[in-house]
Amino acid sequence: MEKIQIIAVIVSLLFLTYIGYLIIKGKLREEYAIIWIICTGILLIFSVWRKGLDFFANLLGVVAPPNIVFTAAIFAILIYLLHLSVVVSKLQSKTKILAQEIALLKQELDTLKKDSNSKK
Partner 1 sequence: MPLSIAVVIPAYNEEASIASVIDEIQRLTLTTNYRIQAVVINDNSTDRTAEILAKLPCVAIHLPTNLGIGGAVQTGLMFAKKYNYDFAIQVDGDGQHPAEKIIELIHFSQKQQYDVVIGSRYLLGKGFQSTRLRRFGIRYFSWIHKLITGQKITDSTSGFRLLNKKAILAISEIYPDEYPEPEALIIYYKLKLRVGELPVEMRSRQGGKSSISTFASVYYLLKVTLAVIFTSCRKIA
Number of alpha helices (DSSP H) and beta strands (DSSP E) in the chain: 4, 0
Q: Which of 20, 40, 41 minimizes the C-alpha distance to 30? A: 20
The length of the chain, given as a count of residues: 120
Instruction: Work out which of 35, 82, 100, 114 binds partner 1, going by CB under 8 A.
Output: 100
Site string for partner 1, 39-78 (x = CB under 8 A): ----------------------------------------
DSSP-derived secondary structure letter, 62: -
Q: Of the listed pieces 26-34, 58-66, 70-78, 99-107, which binds partner 1 according to CB under 8 A? A: 99-107
Check: CB of residue 12 under 8 Å from CB of residue 40. Answer: yes
**106 near partner 1, rule: CB under 8 A:** yes
**99 near partner 1, rule: CB under 8 A:** yes
Which amino acid does the sequence have at 20? Answer: G
Cβ-in-10-Å burial (0-12, 13-18, 19+) of 98 comes to exposed
Instruction: Work out which of 104, 109, 112, 113 binds partner 1, going by CB under 8 A.
Output: 104
**107 near partner 1, rule: CB under 8 A:** yes
**86 near partner 1, rule: CB under 8 A:** no
Q: How far is the CB of 68 from partner 1 (least distance, A)?
A: 35
**85 near partner 1, rule: CB under 8 A:** no
